[in-house]
Amino acid sequence: MKRKPEGFAKHVILELWEASHTNSALTVRKALREACRCGNLRLDKVLIHEFSPHGVSGVAIIAESHITIHTWPEYEFVAVDIYSSNSDADIDEVAKVIKSAFSPCHANQVKIKRGPGRPRGGAEEKSADNPG
């Protein structure tokens, strides 16, 4: 069996604070679809769940794995998980599109290379920003 190269999968974790549209299922759906389109990901299906009294979770099932968005309107907070083994995927663009959809005052992004041959705890980059 041929092994994929070390760190063949990309994993990004985003946290967005003081975010807008956190109770909008439409925003979550549009963000997932647009992120896949702009990031060169092959979208299979988008699933959305609206919580009562508030909050939305969405998942984009992609050929290469998934993107999830979970919102907490009461805290103006959004948690995002982007995972793909597509070597042509532009994960930074995916993150940019999602950030843009929620217009956070503050964001934190952690990138992790995943896959065989990676050392444990393989966080590659941490960055905090003020997306203004």
Q: Which residues pair with 81 in a beta bridge?
A: 13, 68
**Among 83, 111, 108, 115, which residue's Cα sits nearest to residue 19?**
108
More confident residue, 131 or 85: 85
CA 52, CA 40: separation in Å to the nearest integer?
Answer: 33
Structural domains in the chain plus CATH codes = 10-117 (3.60.90.10)
CA 115, CA 70: separation in Å to the nearest integer?
Answer: 25
Mean pLDDT across 35-47: 96
Task: Give residue 132's pLDDT.
Answer: 42
Q: Mind listing the pLDDT tens digit for each residue in 5-22?
A: 555 788 999 999 999 999
pLDDT above 50 for 93? yes
Task: Give residue 12's pLDDT.
Answer: 94
DSSP calls for 50-115: E-SSS-EEEEEEETTEEEEEEEEGGGTEEEEEEEE--TT--HHHHHHHHHHHH--SEEEEEEEEES
Are 9 and 113 in contact, with CB atoms under 8 Å apart? Answer: yes
Task: Give residue 117's pLDDT.
Answer: 60
**Among 98, 109, 95, 94, which residue's Cα sits nearest to residue 38?**
94
More confident residue, 35 or 1: 35
pLDDT above 90 for 55? yes
Percent of the chain with pLDDT over 70: 82
pLDDT band at 115 (very low <50, low <70, confident <90, very high): confident
Q: Which residues pair with 58 in a beta bridge?
A: 48, 69
**Mean pLDDT of the residues in the chain:** 88
| SS3 at position 28 | helix
